[in-house]
Copies of this chain bind each other. A is one copy, B any other.
């Protein structure tokens, strides 16, 4: 019954209604005094929140010497440090880096046995070096990397550094992909961190946001703003659905969402699902000036709230939501899975590295017109990398070759 008031009013009185009133702290002017009006914006309360869409700087997975790997990490950190300086020069109060900030993903997939030696050292260098750079600019930082924790388990981890460059928060990705989870443990909590000026802060990583439960847990814990290092959108599917899902995640929780998307797609989204700003180009930085405690004026024709969370989180009906925590809901028996995490994990690591090389070799057989050998190679690739893009494209090549 949200819109009937609007429709009726339009029909009867011909009034143009502002059902959802503009609530951006940046754009709302001081309002008439009254209990339900928007407070005047204090420019001094605005924070410049930023994210960078770093270009991929993938560390060579063939490196077997930990010192060589760490040297490659140091080389990447030189480039990332200059991005921190750029953001500082832009007056940013916080800068968010994408998932796999250091570029170790592919290397890690092929060198798991070396990870306990390399990842903690690499992460320590990252926090130390980028933290010092951020401290110069009195800027918060959000970083992300796989990490072998002190318990011996590996987690995809996000780090929150304060304006002094010190770590004040850490988050372990709760919902890695099927293949990713083969070699990483899943986080078990959604911590939020109180800050003096950024409000209540939460972090999520990439595939987490395919699941509305993740951002919801943070919002219920009071998060005003979510920093989101990622290499993907908020939904699995074609076209714009991944981007639209990011807008919807922000709107359904009335949180600010700062998207640090590797390569392209970094943006800042308002609590009402508006894209405030987008990054452009390689290593592009996006920022928006916000007050994390404002920008939530919204509602419907019947009732507008100065902070719509007051209604939203009371209109929820958690006593009906028991299914959400059921460890074995009915859908699992209805739709079985035909591939283990372990096999999916092996395939993913190899697809990113030797799989691509093998695919190129098979392609070169086609170019050399060695059709029988090419058919054999693509058939082998389909089996070895089943379910991946290599399987899919090899299948297309086989169809073409067999129809020759």
Contacts and interface: CB of A to CB of B under 8 A. Distances in A.
B327 A324 contact: no
Contacts of A302: 177, 179, 344, 347-348, 351, 387-389
A232 B331 contact: no
A318 B310 contact: no
Contact of A329 (B221, B324, B326, B327): B221
* Assembly stoichiometry (copies): 2
B211 A213 contact: no
Interface stretch (A85-93, A147-155, A241-249, A281-289): A241-249
Interface residues of A, number: 134
A18 B392 CA distance: 8
Contacts of A241: 247-248, 251, 272-274
A42 interface: no
Interface string A94-132: 000001100001100000000000000000000000000
A180 interface: yes
A235 interface: yes
A15 interface: yes
A331 B219 contact: yes
A193 interface: no
6 contacts: A1-B177, A2-B207, A17-B393, A32-B395, A210-B315, A303-B348
Interface of A: 1-9, 12-13, 15, 17-22, 32, 34-36, 56, 58, 99-100, 105-106, 156, 174-181, 186-190, 200, 206-207, 210-213, 216-217, 219-222, 231-232, 234-239, 241, 244-245, 247-248, 251-252, 262-263, 272-274, 298-305, 307-327, 329-332, 334-339, 344, 347-348, 351-352, 356, 359-360, 363, 382, 386-389, 391-393, 395, 398-399
Given A4-B106, A34-B382, 14 more contacts: A1-B156, A1-B177, A6-B389, A18-B392, A21-B392, A178-B303, A178-B315, A212-B212, A217-B321, A235-B252, A236-B272, A237-B272, A302-B389, A313-B335
